[in-house]
Structure 1
Amino acid sequence: MTNRRGSRPGPGEREIDDSELMDVAQGPEQAHSLHKALRTLADNPNASGPLQEMAQGILSGRMGMTDAIKSERYMDALGDRMTEIRRAAESQTMEDREAEREKREQWERKRDEEEQKERAEHDGPSTNLVTGPKKRGRGGHRG
């Protein structure tokens, strides 16, 4: 599969598709969301270290999602990150919270627009529809 963003997967590697996350997802929509979250994590320069390594490993198919969930190293890193997020939220002022809320709403609108566009591209008609026999040669009608 072609890489849409970032540097993963490496040369000669492919990126998994949504169906390869169905062993941990509760349906195609959740698998798609998980895939997008892993891609975001893998491409995020602020997520360096074990979490980014985990996302890149799963996306390249070198590691399964269930293996990552069972890994103490990755789950500890996830727990540490969640603790950082909680501490940051606790220390926010009302102005900070309002600014974050506005950012989040803007991000959600953008995400919804992107998802609608993806669905339209996926569900929409193909631009390569064949409507009749292929014409051969340059000339007009054979008779």
Structure 2
Amino acid sequence: MNNERQIQDEDLMDVAQDPEQAHRLRKALKTLADNPNVGGKLQEMAKEVLSGRIGMKDAIATPTYMDALGDRIGEMRRAAENQTQAERESSREQFATWQKKQEEQEDKERAERDGPSGNIVTTPRHGRGGSSHRR
């Protein structure tokens, strides 16, 4: 993404419900944009949104971008359906480890964003209330 202008979390508030969700969305877009394995229209969309050349609402309304997203989700679903029970268990364990690291990283980033405080109070993460992905 070189020296291009980069949007900030606030620029995604037209589609996000709160600043935390906007931050996670921008982070996900950056992951898509920077991962050479993504490629194609999905990576193009992420780069376009991050550079500010297209808004997230416009990207969502673009059939080629949404088709690319749907195709990728379909690939993921098929891969999950073809896993053995042992592979599923391993995936669950890997996901739990990954999720814990992500939460720790998000907590660290939130603390850095919020600045120094004598009484650090964290708010609950949105969308993580259940444990439906765990046993």
TM-score bin, normalised by smaller chain: 0.7 to 0.9
Query: Which one-letter code corresponds to 1:107 in the other structure?
Result: W
Q: Displacement of 1:123 after TM fit?
A: 2.4
Q: Is 1:37 aligned with 2:42?
A: no
**What residue in structure 2 maps to residue 112 of structure 1?**
103
**What residue in structure 2 maps to residue 73 of structure 1?**
64
**What residue in structure 1 maps to residue 123 of structure 2?**
none
Superposition pairs for residues 21-100 of structure 1, below 5 Å?
A: 21-100=12-91
TM-score by length of 2: 0.82
Structure 2, unpaired ranges of 5+: 118-135
TM-score by length of 1: 0.78
Tell me the C-alpha RMSD between the 2 structures: 1.3
Query: Which one-letter code corresponds to 2:16 in the other structure?
Result: A
Q: Displacement of 1:125 after TM fit?
A: 2.3
* Count of matched residue pairs: 117
Q: Displacement of 1:97 after TM fit?
A: 0.5
SS of 2:97 mapped into structure 1: helix
Query: Which one-letter code corresponds to 2:33 in the other structure?
Result: A
Which structure would you say has the larger Rg?
1
Q: Displacement of 1:124 after TM fit?
A: 3.3
Structure 1, unpaired ranges of 5+: 1-7, 127-143
